[in-house]
Amino acid sequence: MGTKHAEFIAREQNATLVGIADPFTTSLAETTEVSSYTDYRDLLAAPDVDAVIIANPNVEHVPTALAAIEAGIPALLEKPVAVSADEASVLSLAVKASDGVILVGHHRRHHPAVAAARSMISAGELGRIVAVNGMWLTKKSADYFEQSWHRTAGAGVMLINLVHDLDLMRHLVGEVTTIQAIASNTIRGYEVEDTAAVIVSFDNGAIGTFIASDSVVAPWGWDQSTQDDPQFPFNPDTACYSIAGTDGSLAFPQLGHYYHDGESNWTHPLSRRFRATAGGDSYTRQLRHFIDVARRQSEPMVTVEDAAATLKIIESAHRSAATGELIRVQP
């Protein structure tokens, strides 16, 4: 992900890449021809650094972000914000105590289709939201798992991928109040799950189901349905979320809006119209937002506290998968 961020910075006229910190390799610093640091503390102390992007393994997120706060350097911190809710609250307290600037990298929130869906939902165009369904199903390459941290606690399809989907559902539908999960590592056989299914309820009474797997050949998922990242083949026809309300439904990200003209019941023909939006590239939009945040011209769209609320859902999902219980997500 750090390599991708370097590419986004290279395309952005208001940002210049000046250094890379990585304790294990200098390859990205060499290809981008910038200063290389083994220790991120040295990068944070460099005179030409105005802001940093933290894209190291999940277990390193909080210590690195705390060092950025201590150095007074604004940071875009990749998701998940932390690997536990307790760790996230340490970071949240540090942000408050020091007036530190952290934007968490739930990049999907910057996608124009998300803003459009949110405005349609809040304007009541779908009526009251009753049921949502989401899928993130794809096949990661074998070499992705050569990085040992991708196979062990602190990774897994729930913390790495489903975290994005549930974050968006919080953003679009409401706060998740309960979750029940089943997780499986049957295909890859690693310590962490490769596949998971969850059932959630929201504070407004809506309910939802989500399924995620990094081990299947399938077209359903954010990365295939949006043109957010050209690395992934684009599948224009398949929706990754279905959001159903008392007056209509939305196929996302196409923003196909289904509704009844006149009488509303299942024997009546369904009409469909599409809401037009700008194209994707939420990573570039996120970077531009981060530049404003780092200059203190904008408040972070995703704060540590906000991302910590999403993390609590994943933590509850892990607990549910381990115990078989329905877990009430602590606010």
Residues that bind ligand NAD (CB under 6 A): 1-2, 21-25, 40, 55-58, 60, 78-79, 105, 107, 147, 160
Closest CB to ligand NAD among residues 28, 131: 28
Question: Nearest distance from residue 244's CB to ligand NAD, in Å?
Answer: 27
> Closest distance between ligand NAD and the C-beta of residue 80, in Å?
6
Q: Output 57 or 256, the one with its CB closest to ligand NAD.
A: 57
Closer residue to ligand NAD, CB minimum distance, 108 or 257: 108
Element (H, E) at 179: strand 176-184
Give yes or no for a cis peptide into 253 (omega within 30° of 0). yes
Q: Least distance in Å: CB of 283 to ligand NAD?
A: 7
Q: Which is nearer to ligand NAD, 111 or 257 (CB)?
A: 111
Contact yes or no for 179/327 (Cβ under 8 A): yes
140's CB contacts (< 8 A; 6+ apart) are: 214, 215
Residue with CB nearest ligand NAD?
Answer: 1
**From the CB of 224, what's the least distance to ligand NAD, in Å?**
14
Question: How many Å apart are CA 158 and CA 310, to the nearest integer?
Answer: 11
Closest CA to 32 of 40, 20, 24, 44: 20
Instruction: Compute CA 15 distance to the chain's CA centroid, rounded to the nearest angstrom.
Output: 23
CB 199 within 8 A of CB 180: yes
- Select 25 or 246, whichever has its Cβ closest to ligand NAD: 25
Rounded CA separation 158/318 (Å) = 8
From the CB of 322, what's the least distance to ligand NAD, in Å? 21
